[in-house]
Chain A
């Protein structure tokens, strides 16, 4: 079992819709979780991180964490074509010193 799992997609949503990206993790010791966006040919850029159960909002983005279910999600409201990218979920593992990444979900926002 992979430590961090994501559906590879592609996930297609129409412009203006809510995109929902999901991630599960296996290490119950993981305490912090990160969402990165990676455009094709570029390096990842941090969108947001979450430590506590519940929701965390930042602009159009909302991260959700459920430690009991070992589940992290990212909601993107009012999706724009510029949001089209691969979204990487990452969890701190190995005692919190390193990040383990999922394989990423490709999001396509269509006009």
Chain B
């Protein structure tokens, strides 16, 4: 149980394009999903908290107009990196939390490389 998937696992794109990453909870309903970013040899940094049916809460320093988050259902959240630039290249990881639970389960991550 508690499986979270992400798609795609790898993205290479040109500077200026937008990239959408999907995060799905496969065997449970996730009222809350979280988006993290991890640069090489650094820890996970929370970008935003996504609640189903409402606007995401962004962490300080994260541009909400650049990182668009949509959580339209209890099993799906999407992160769109708009007008991506090389400095956005990173490992993006989502996690999901079951209704009433405290434990977060992570997706496998998406590696983004912006050329």
Partner-B contacts on A (CB < 8 A): 32, 34, 36, 42-46, 49, 88, 92, 96-104
Selecting from B13-21, B63-71, B76-84, B105-113, the interface stretch reads B105-113
B25 at the interface (CB under 8 A from A): no
Report how far A98 CA is from B103 CA in the complex, Å. 10
Q: Check B107–A92 contact: CB distance below 8 A.
A: no
Write the chain B residue with the least CB distance to A102: B43
In chain B between 12 and 56, which residues have their CB closer than 8 angstroms to a CB of chain A? Answer: 32, 34, 42-44, 46, 49
Q: Check A46–B103 contact: CB distance below 8 A.
A: yes
Report how far A45 CA is from B105 CA in the complex, Å. 7
Report how far A92 CA is from B104 CA in the complex, Å. 11
B31 smallest CB distance to A (angstroms)? 11
Write the chain A residue with the least CB distance to B106: A43
Chain A residues closer than 8 Å to B74, beta-carbon distance:
none
A65 smallest CB distance to B (angstroms)? 14
